[in-house]
Chain A
Amino acid sequence: MIPILFIVSILIFFFTHLIPGDPARLVAGKDATLEEVNIIRAELGLDQPIWDQYITYMSNLFQGDLGTSLKTGLPVSEMFADRFMPSIYLTFMSMGWALVLGLLIGTLSAVFKNKWPDYFGMVTAVSGISMPGFWLGLILIQIFSVQLGWFPTGGAESWKSYILPSITLGAGIMSMLARFTRSSLLETLRADFIRTGRAKGLKESVVIPKHALRNSLIPVVTIAGLQFGFLLGGSVVVETVFSFPGMGRLLIDSIAFRDYPVIQAELLLFSIEFILVNLIVDIMYSMLNPKIRYVT
């Protein structure tokens, strides 16, 4: 994990500095003279050779200092502090209900293939996947905030603020999981060991959850892990529609402003999160199928 992170840090640093656009100019403003821009460039340390900047950045990083935002002048860690937890809560909430409903709909659709639960489930899944988050979010606000007044239109002040964004974020994921569960389960249900199980008189309530479902979960877990990783990175669309203080919008704003320290810190954080999620997915593989083991 450490070597991966080291390579990632180099890639992030140099690619960030490769983006065209001069932060000093953006900080100084359109009416600034060249002299003013140069003073600001020196103040931000951007006049140093890029390798020196990288070494400073890394040595600060090892001391736990993520740097200071070029745009706001605030420490990056402070800018993250208020946004990190809301993003985590939202991820868990969206993922939670998407997993439960996705598995449920997928299983029902597979078990009742070509019957009405299957049609109902797949119509739900197709609708969920085809509704753009932006549109779904605004519709939910219109119905549940403006008309019914049940939930606030945005923010992250109480658990109520999380409901609509989590539905918006989770809808697509739920649909994807439902479809994957269905196709994977259908395949497993045709397998020899299921026929053997049924032949030796096992009840369906044992065959389906214990034998079939468990063996169909590998692709589902892979997809779920990937989606989980993406969600942790925040969602610009949902954060914008619900004015949710998450990590996604911060990244976009920072890129627009060429706020190098914030971009770098955020990308590094996402890489760590992704590596962790991947690790968990790998562990789950071996739990689901003990045949998968790492050779040491």
Chain B
Amino acid sequence: MWKTLFVVLISLVLMAGCSSKESGTDEKESSGSSSSPKEEELVIAVNENFISMDPHNTGDTNSNSVQTAMLEGLLGSDEEGQIIPQLAEEYSVSDNALEYSFKLRQGVTFHDGEPFNAEAVKTSFERIMKDESLRLNSRGFNLITSIDVIDDYQIKVTLKEPYAGMLTRFVSAKILSPKLINDSSNDIGKTPVGTGPFKFVEWVQGDHLTVERFDDYWNKADRVKKITYKPVPENGSRVAMLKTGEAHVIYPAPVQNLKELESNSDVEIHKIPSTIARYVSINTMKEPYDDVRIRQAINYAVNKEAFISVVNSGYGLPLDSIIPSKTQFYSKQETYDHNIEKAKELMKEAGFEDGFNAEIWGNTNSDTLKGMQFIQQQLKEIGITVEIKSMEEGTLSDEIYGAQTPEEAKVQMWYVSWSAYPSDTTNATKPLFSSSSFPPDGANTAYYKNDDVDKWITEVNQTADPDKQAEIYSNIQSAIYKDAPWIFLGVDEILAGSRSNVEGVFISPTGGINVTDANLK
């Protein structure tokens, strides 16, 4: 009797097999027309979810990227990350670095039809000034004493004290439609309305965010009709999307797939020098690191070229100053070349000929771990035995910022990175090297204190004269580089991939994706 059952079951299996085969062939036929995106739509796959669309309260690169498609500031930034006029046609800064005057562009409208003018700028800026919880508030906008509307298209902003990072803040402070701000029922973090080349369509949490061409945009050009941004955290999946054409641009492109992608004629790879500095901060207030010779010895002992090829798979540049070369006012320093003999000599001079035990902290990211192991292996050469402490990000943050005074700080070396806007040299120096920025007040985890540097950092922020700024920043860089409060490891190169029919999309040194002139051939 079981034969009957056997026959029934087998036929069931066969039926299931056949039907799936049939539906499979359907798939193949239909996929050509429906699942491959039409050439009217540009798809960009990025590695992380977007956090918020509120431009005045954004800290992550990917949210910023999407916002720049829809929103504009008085100032913008070019391919190199340098500041250019955007909604302002012209701007000027007074000699005492307190007054910023803008002449606004005329004939600009918001996506909701509202006109763009000085009042609209004032509404946006006042929103940031009044709300202390907005990220931009504490970064410059809390220094504003008055906003004067001179006429419809002229506006003047006055600060109570000079702040050299302010121009970069005018790039970040996107101008939102006053109608959006004044109507409290709107959620700015979800549905932004600005003046950009694309307007918001929909945001499906965790899946995609779509924008569509704004036909009344002030700068007419041929642009793609729709752009969809997708968070795709898995590297292999992003690569697969680029290969199948499901995505036109992927950021970042994973290093391990570069060879495979480079051999694909439909795909182009872009390498962009970034403003991401990789370094290990050395606690200059702790023994034996309080001796500059020890810190220099550590720098001589680490082979930076090997670091870039081993840890960054060859994609990177040397960090030959305290700031990356794309940062404004950068000046190249004489680097600590790999020299074990010299390192040993310095160790001996400092009285540590036989080395010592050290500890390095970092997060649990696999690349960080690789980097720390590299440092461990390099420092072994000069007798320093490094113990690696890999901690989950929140715990690590507690350990670092939990210390209220330099004496309480337990950190010896921290493997970390820093990125500031290319135009914002203040943010690339002050939080890292000013003695007012010891944790928990900033990220000076080297507990670096140099009275000259402190004085210069204050001075450089009090002038708007670029020549004077360049001179002071040059002093700052050479003094700090000699003091070696960091192991200066390298500057990341950003990797992105695109289909060969993509035009007008570029990646900035901070990893932002600019789509202002995006089009598909």
Instruction: List B contacts of A31 (CB < 8 A).
Output: 427, 431, 437, 442-443
A64 interface contact, C-beta 8 A: no
Instruction: List A contacts of B32 (CB < 8 A).
Output: 149
Q: Verify B204–A154 contact, CB threshold 8 A.
A: no
A72 interface contact, C-beta 8 A: yes
Q: Verify B206–A83 contact, CB threshold 8 A.
A: yes
Q: Which of A14-22, A51-59, A266-274 contacts B (4 or more CB under 8 A)?
A: A14-22
Q: Verify B133–A256 contact, CB threshold 8 A.
A: no
Q: Verify B237–A71 contact, CB threshold 8 A.
A: no
A150 interface contact, C-beta 8 A: yes
- B4's partner among A28, A39, A79, A205 (CB-CB below 8 A) is A205
Question: Which B150-200 residues have C-beta < 8 A from chain A?
Answer: 187, 189-190
Q: Verify B35–A249 contact, CB threshold 8 A.
A: no
Instruction: List A contacts of B237 (CB < 8 A).
Output: 138, 141, 153-154, 240-243
Q: Verify B52–A72 contact, CB threshold 8 A.
A: yes
A220 interface contact, C-beta 8 A: no
Instruction: List A contacts of B9 (CB < 8 A).
Output: 104, 107-108
- How many of chain B's residues have a CB under 8 angstroms from any CB in A? 63
- B35's partner among A37, A112, A152 (CB-CB below 8 A) is A152
B51 interface contact, C-beta 8 A: yes
- B5's partner among A37, A40, A111, A151 (CB-CB below 8 A) is A111
A25 to B1, CA, bound (A): 71
Instruction: List A contacts of B442 (CB < 8 A).
Output: 31-33
Q: Verify A155–B443 contact, CB threshold 8 A.
A: no
Q: Which of B98-106, B238-246, B509-517 contacts A (4 or more CB under 8 A)?
A: B238-246
Q: Verify B204–A245 contact, CB threshold 8 A.
A: yes
Q: Verify A253–B49 contact, CB threshold 8 A.
A: yes
Q: Evaluate whether A40 and B133 lie within 8 angstroms (CB atoms) in the complex, with A81-B205, A82-B207, A148-B28 already known.
A: yes
Q: Mark B113-149, 1 if CB is under 8 A from A, else 0.
A: 0000000000000000000110100100000000000
Instruction: List B contacts of A155 (CB < 8 A).
Output: 207-208, 230
Q: Verify A150–B440 contact, CB threshold 8 A.
A: no
A152 to B43, CA, bound (A): 13
- B236's partner among A141, A156, A256 (CB-CB below 8 A) is A141
Q: Verify A26–B208 contact, CB threshold 8 A.
A: no
Question: Which A60-96 residues have C-beta < 8 A from chain B?
Answer: 71-74, 78-79, 81-83, 86
For the complex formed, measure the closest distance between the CB of B189 and the CB atoms of chain A, giving whole angstroms. 5
Instruction: List A contacts of B190 (CB < 8 A).
Output: 74, 78
Question: Which A242-277 residues have C-beta < 8 A from chain B?
Answer: 242-243, 245-246, 249-250, 253, 256, 258
A256 to B401, CA, bound (A): 17
Which residue among B45, B394, B442 has the maximum number of chain A CB atoms within 10 Å of its CB?
Answer: B394
A34 interface contact, C-beta 8 A: yes
A71 to B246, CA, bound (A): 29
Q: Verify A153–B138 contact, CB threshold 8 A.
A: no
Q: Verify A71–B13 contact, CB threshold 8 A.
A: no
Q: Verify A26–B397 contact, CB threshold 8 A.
A: yes
Q: Evaluate whether A208 and B5 lie within 8 angstroms (CB atoms) in the complex, with A21-B395, A256-B394 already known.
A: yes
For the complex formed, measure the closest distance between the CB of A243 and the CB atoms of chain B, giving whole angstroms. 4
B107 interface contact, C-beta 8 A: no
A286 interface contact, C-beta 8 A: no
- A153's partner among B54, B204, B246, B443 (CB-CB below 8 A) is B246
A25 to B397, CA, bound (A): 8
A82 to B204, CA, bound (A): 6
For the complex formed, measure the closest distance between the CB of B395 and the CB atoms of chain A, giving whole angstroms. 5
For the complex formed, measure the closest distance between the CB of B505 and the CB atoms of chain A, giving whole angstroms. 20
Instruction: List B contacts of A47 (CB < 8 A).
Output: none
Whose C-beta in chain A lies nearest to the C-beta of B444?
A: A31
A141 to B442, CA, bound (A): 44
Whose C-beta in chain A lies nearest to the C-beta of B208?
A: A155
Question: Which B233-257 residues have C-beta < 8 A from chain A?
Answer: 233-234, 236-237, 240-241, 243-244, 246
A158 to B207, CA, bound (A): 12
A203 to B441, CA, bound (A): 81
Whose C-beta in chain B lies nearest to the C-beta of A152?
A: B35
Whose C-beta in chain A lies nearest to the C-beta of B418?
A: A30
Q: Verify A82–B206 contact, CB threshold 8 A.
A: yes
Q: Verify A73–B397 contact, CB threshold 8 A.
A: no
Instruction: List B contacts of A83 (CB < 8 A).
Output: 205-206
B466 interface contact, C-beta 8 A: no
Q: Verify B246–A249 contact, CB threshold 8 A.
A: no
A86 to B204, CA, bound (A): 12
B446 interface contact, C-beta 8 A: no
Q: Verify A21–B394 contact, CB threshold 8 A.
A: yes
Q: Verify A256–B440 contact, CB threshold 8 A.
A: no
For the complex formed, measure the closest distance between the CB of B226 and the CB atoms of chain A, giving whole angstroms. 14
- How many of chain A's residues have a CB under 8 angstroms from any CB in B? 67
B232 interface contact, C-beta 8 A: yes
B387 interface contact, C-beta 8 A: no
Q: Evaluate whether A146 and B398 lie within 8 angstroms (CB atoms) in the complex, with A37-B440, A243-B231 already known.
A: no
A160 interface contact, C-beta 8 A: yes
A242 to B236, CA, bound (A): 10
Q: Verify A258–B205 contact, CB threshold 8 A.
A: no
Instruction: List A contacts of B314 (CB < 8 A).
Output: none
B27 interface contact, C-beta 8 A: yes
Instruction: List B contacts of A132 (CB < 8 A).
Output: none
A108 to B27, CA, bound (A): 31
A187 interface contact, C-beta 8 A: no
Q: Verify B205–A150 contact, CB threshold 8 A.
A: no
Q: Verify A73–B5 contact, CB threshold 8 A.
A: no
Q: Verify A156–B207 contact, CB threshold 8 A.
A: yes
Question: Which A212-253 residues have C-beta < 8 A from chain B?
Answer: 240-243, 245-246, 249-250, 253
Question: Which B33-65 residues have C-beta < 8 A from chain A?
Answer: 34-36, 45, 49, 51-52, 54, 57, 59
Q: Verify A153–B240 contact, CB threshold 8 A.
A: yes
For the complex formed, measure the closest distance between the CB of B486 and the CB atoms of chain A, giving whole angstroms. 15
Q: Evaluate whether A141 and B240 lie within 8 angstroms (CB atoms) in the complex, with A152-B35, A243-B234, A256-B393 already known.
A: yes
Q: Verify B27–A151 contact, CB threshold 8 A.
A: yes
Q: Evaluate whether A20 and B398 lie within 8 angstroms (CB atoms) in the complex, with A36-B138, A71-B51, A142-B240 already known.
A: yes
A146 to B231, CA, bound (A): 19
For the complex formed, measure the closest distance between the CB of B347 and the CB atoms of chain A, giving whole angstroms. 31
Instruction: List A contacts of B138 (CB < 8 A).
Output: 32-33, 35-36, 39
A145 to B1, CA, bound (A): 44
A151 to B31, CA, bound (A): 7
For the complex formed, measure the closest distance between the CB of B141 and the CB atoms of chain A, giving whole angstroms. 12
Q: Verify B443–A21 contact, CB threshold 8 A.
A: no
Q: Verify B132–A145 contact, CB threshold 8 A.
A: no
Chain A residues in contact with chain B, CB under 8 A? 19-22, 25-37, 39-40, 43, 71-74, 78-79, 81-83, 86, 104, 107-108, 111-112, 138, 141-142, 145-146, 148-158, 160, 203-205, 208, 240-243, 245-246, 249-250, 253, 256, 258
- 30 chain-A/chain-B pairs, Cβ below 8 angstroms: A21-B394, A22-B394, A22-B397, A22-B401, A25-B398, A25-B401, A25-B440, A29-B135, A31-B427, A32-B442, A36-B138, A72-B52, A73-B54, A74-B187, A82-B206, A86-B207, A111-B2, A145-B246, A146-B240, A149-B244, A150-B24, A150-B28, A151-B35, A153-B246, A160-B27, A204-B1, A204-B2, A205-B5, A240-B234, A243-B233
Which 10 interchain pairs have the tightest Cβ spacing? A21-B394, A245-B206, A204-B1, A245-B207, A31-B431, A43-B133, A150-B27, A82-B205, A243-B232, A36-B138
